[in-house]
Structure 1
Amino acid sequence: MRKLLACFAVLLLSCSFAHSEGELKSENQIRSVDSSRGIGWVFDFIKNFLGYATILLPGYLIIKYVRNSGYLETAVSRGVFYNAVKVCVQGNDLEVVLGVPTKGEERAKSNFEKGVILVICASGLQVSYLTWGVLQERIMAHSYGETPTSSGEKFANSQFLVFVNRILAFMTAAAVLWYQRPPKVGVPFYKYSYCSLSNILSSWCQYEALKYVSFPTQVLAKASKVIPVMMMGKIVSKNVYELYQYVTAVLISIGMTMFLLTEGVNDKGHNSSETTFAGVVILIGYMSFDSFTSNWQGELFKSYKMSSIQMMFGVNLFSCLFTIWSLITRGDFLTSVLFMLKYEQFLFHCIVLSICSATGQLFIFQTISRFGPIVFTIIMTLRQMFAILLSCFIYNHELALLAWMGVLVVFCALFLEIYSKDRVRRRKAKGGKMVNCGSGFVHMFPSHFFFFFTRT
């Protein structure tokens, strides 16, 4: 009991600290001073993480107390509270499902029908994520309320955008689970929190980077995440990689270097070497957190055989809890809502951004389950190329010849990886084994593949 009281004491002290911090200085004042030095993101990151810690630390102590006290074995009353504690700490009892139809039992479709479905899925992915990318840059890099006499205001809270995306994704996953009623999985619910935390930190870095680098730089960095994923795979899962994966990593590194040598010179919006360096550091943080997310989810898929929608539900539930609590304790939630009410265009952009994110994930699920991961990877790689071209066209980013050559090298390396990965998969596809495919673990059951490519 004393440990539980200590948990709540820590929680209250953290909230008091966050509240007093808001009284000493307004968030806008802090941001305007620190951003001029190029280090404002560091303070924001620390404050966000402290907000998450007010949930993580009490949760850790409660789980430890439940395990050490033997509550699950000795509890007399086993009602709703007991079941909730059991799901969080120990996991559900597994269900045995009989009579599940195999692929051979599904109704065969003609090539024309498959082609129509593929066009719909590919178009849905392109429209969803290209629109999402354009709006992402519009929200984070441009002002609202501009007039001939006023420069307007920029929305600066990346964490609020993460929350907006996660809440709709959570509701979508909950609706799909309610409709499908899949069998329960035995994963302890708290294990979702690890990849949820890394997922929201990677998403925060993704939005925050747009304050310091151009959107093409951000997209190219996301396309290059195979490098930190391989490094994290070595650390987390003790992976062994093949020669083509190392060749791909080297080519991507060369292409990124070529691109970054010209970044900060030709892009009018980001012409400071200091802010460009800050943006590169944030993008490295994005790739590191994202690679941990992929590898941790791969371990969960391998150990508990869950569906992608169940993973989507669990991760987004914790993401909503982390972000809404941090926003409230810092006083940013009300500020962001007031900004949304002040500028109707921003409200519209947030709604469309969230819809694109949620529908994009559903298109991903359908594409992989029907056509496999190779087709999906090709579509998403093309989407990244189109995103760079679209951003340069809409927002007038100027890229030098060396930068375009760097982009070409990176995407040639990605298509080389796709080709080589397909050859490896053909050799190892029998038996439904886990196959290391360079960008994270890919279970041969295709619906498990999609979550590693949705970092919105």
Structure 2
Amino acid sequence: MQSRLLQIASVLAAVFVSLVQGPPIPAEGETNVWPVRLLINILGYATLVVPAALLIKYLKKINYKEKGSGICFPVVKTCVFGDEVGEHKTTDQPAPLNITTREPSTFVSGIKLAFCAVGLQVSYLTWGVIQERIMTIEYGKTDDTPGEKFGNSQFLVFVNRSLAFIVAGLYIAFTRQPRHGCPLHKFSYSSISNIMSSWFQYEALKYVSFPTQVLGKACKVIPVMLMGKVVSGNTYEFYEWATAGMLSVGISLFLLSQGQSGKHAAHDAIDITNDAAGVVLSGFILMVGYMAFDSFTSNWQGQLFKTYKMSSFQMMFGVNLFSCLFTSVSLLEQGGFFQAFAFMASHLDFAMHSVILSICSAVGQLFIFYTISEFGPVIFTIIMTTRQALAILLSCLIYGHPVSAIGGLGILVVFFSLFLRIYARTRKTALAKQQKPIPSPNKV
């Protein structure tokens, strides 16, 4: 009996140690199935989501908004029910009517546009190069010693979201923001989908080449349209569906020319199977997962913007707040922080790359908001579409990804359809403005 108890105790101790230390980082050649990692992450998020969902349901059932009281009531009300915008009326006086605003000169506008374009290109091109370096190249590899890859994608998501959360918080603390009244828990929906889309994006680089991933991002307009029709009931013009079809043709040509999805995926990735078919299948599923979650994120955030009239920085703060919370809890449960910090201690260049990745992500988001506010979404889309083309070129030059003639044709089709889409949308907007009736001067 005593020996039996000792065996049970040893098993429980082993389980406890494994929970504290987290799953071991697989050595080169070991099987490390990404669906298992995905399931573990989801279970980690569920430890927060499920109790919170039950609590919110209970508070609404007992009508806590009307009956609640105490020190915690304002916090609970903000998180579950939201604030009443009417309770926070501003005392700002309207600007005098005789004050006129001067339009900036063409030279000043050109300088601002160049500043935005260079900022976006530098931020996200650097981010792309560092992202591919972290996920596809071994650290510490020499002629005498084998290297090791960093495999914890969730930690990279946490690092990026943490800095973005700090930047958004500082901006909100020192600037005047609108009162939107959105319940805080509604940010968690897009936070979860944003975490998942980023995780799928990082994991996909283990199985597909970076140019393939960039083209997949360029084609995410297709799932965005489908998700918009399902979530928001949006309708789309013929040119939007036509250019979406061209995007599908272009990405198909590129993927067919790739064969084994790039040299890194074919030879270095740890996957379900060692054959090329398994690599391609995993890469395809991960890219579809990325586009699906990212499509939901943009549509859900669009609904919140439309309903509650919040600022972009308030959205950035709320989403990244929950992202930091979810990822930190999951990493603590899995022991991911211990693994990541141990990897940093062994490879200081990885620590530097992680910091640069986070800075580029946060600075890039600031440039996004500034560019859209100054020049509108069309100019921003043109800049970012150009960035995608430059990212593919830069990746091929630095990491040596081969692109065949058919693959090059696919890339041209993709970006031609993107610019055609921008042109058609701009032309439609201009025609709508021309057809808008001019009010009669006799009418008050």
Q: Aligned to 2:235, which of 236, 240, 250? A: 240
Measured against aligned partners, the alpha-carbon deviations of 1:223-280 in whole angstroms (never above 9, x if no partner) come to: 0001101111111011111000110111011011101112234732233232122111
Q: Work out which of the residue numbers 24, 31, 37 in structure 2 matches 1:27.
A: 24
Tell me if structure 2 keeps the 8 A contact 1:145–1:152. yes
Provide the residue aligned with 2:269 in structure 1. Answer: none
RMSD between aligned residues: 2.3
> Mind listing any 5+ residue stretches in structure 1 that lack a counterpart?
1-15, 431-456
| 2:195 paired with 1:200 | yes
Aligned with residue 257 of structure 2, among 255, 262, 283: 262
Distance change (3 Å), C-alpha of 1:266 and 1:178: closer
Q: Which moved more, 1:19-28 or 1:90-99?
A: 19-28
Q: Which residue of 1 aligns with 2:339?
A: 335
Q: What is the aligned partner in structure 2 of residue 400 from structure 1?
A: 404
- AA at the equivalent of 2:64: Y
Compared with structure 1, are the counterparts of its residues 109 and 274 closer, same or farther at alpha carbon in structure 2 (3 Å cutoff)?
same
Give the conservation status (yes or no) of the 8 Å contact 1:195–1:292: yes
Q: Distance in 1 between matches of 2:301 and 2:252?
A: 30
Q: Secondary structure at the match of 1:153?
A: coil
Alignment of 1:80-95 (within 5 A): 81-94=72-85, 95=88
For residue 105 of structure 1, report the CA deviation from its aligned partner.
5.0
1:348 aligns with 2:352: yes
Amino acid at match of 2:84: D
Q: With structure 2 as the length reference, what TM-score do the two structures score?
A: 0.88
TM-superposition CA deviations, 1:372-396 (whole Å, max 9, x none): 1111100000000000000000000
Q: Provide the C-alpha distance between the structure 2 equivalents of 1:116 and 1:351, rounded to a whole number of angstroms.
A: 29
Distance 1:30 1:101 in 2: 66
CA distance in 2, matches of 1:400, 1:207: 25
Determine the structure 2 residue equivalent to 1:437: none
Select 1:304's aligned residue among 291, 308, 311: 308
Structure 1 residues 25 and 312, CA gap change in structure 2 (3 angstroms): closer
Alpha-carbon distance, 1:108 to partner? 2.9
1:106 CA drift (Å)? 4.3
The aligned residue for residue 8 of structure 1 is none
- The CA deviation at 1:59 is 0.6
1:115-264 equivalences under 5 Å are 115-264=110-259
Match of 1:451? none
Whole-angstrom distance in 2 between the partners of 1:366 and 1:24: 43
Aligned equivalents of 2:426, 2:43: Cα separation in 1: 43
Q: 107, 110, 133: which is aligned to 1:112?
A: 107
In the TM superposition, residue 428 of structure 1 has moved relative to its aligned partner by: 5.1
**Structure 1 residues 32, 283: closer, same or farther in 2, change over 3 A?**
same
Distance 1:354 1:75, change over 3 A: same
1:19 and 1:331 in contact (8 A); partners too: no
Alpha-carbon distance change, 371 to 18 in structure 1, aligned in 2, over 3 angstroms: farther
> Corresponding residue for 1:410?
414
1:421 to 425, 431, 434: 425
Cα pair distance change 1:192/1:235, threshold 3 Å? same
Aligned residues: 409
Q: For 1:276, give the aligned amino acid.
A: V
Question: Is the Cα contact below 8 Å between 2:22 and 2:335 reproduced in 1?
Answer: no
Give me the TM-score of the superposition, normalised by structure 1: 0.85
Give the unaligned 5+ runs of structure 2.
1-12, 267-275, 435-444
| Whole-angstrom distance in 2 between the partners of 1:416 and 1:356 | 29
- 1:55 alignment partner in structure 2: 48
Instruction: Return the structure number with greater relative CO, CA threshold 8 A, min gap 6.
Output: 2
Counterpart contact for 2:20–2:334, Cα < 8 Å: no
- The CA deviation string for residues 419-450 of structure 1, in whole angstroms up to 9 with x for no partner, is 111123335569xxxxxxxxxxxxxxxxxxxx
Is the 8 Å Cα contact of residues 20 and 335 (structure 2) preserved in structure 1? Answer: no
1:397 counterpart SS class: coil
Distance 1:306 1:32, change over 3 A: farther
Aligned residue for 2:368?
364
- How many Å apart are 1:216 and its aligned residue? 0.2
Report deviation, 1:73.
1.5
Q: Does the 8 A contact of 2:197 with 2:290 survive in 1?
A: yes
Given that residues 20 and 333 in structure 2 are in contact (C-alpha distance below 8 angstroms), is that contact kept between their aligned partners in structure 1? no
* Cα distance in 2 for residues equivalent to 1:76 and 1:57: 25
Residue in structure 1 matched with residue 57 of structure 2 by the alignment: 64
The 5-angstrom pairing of residues 31-46 of structure 1 reads: 33-35=30-32, 40-46=33-39
Number of the residue aligned with 1:96: 89
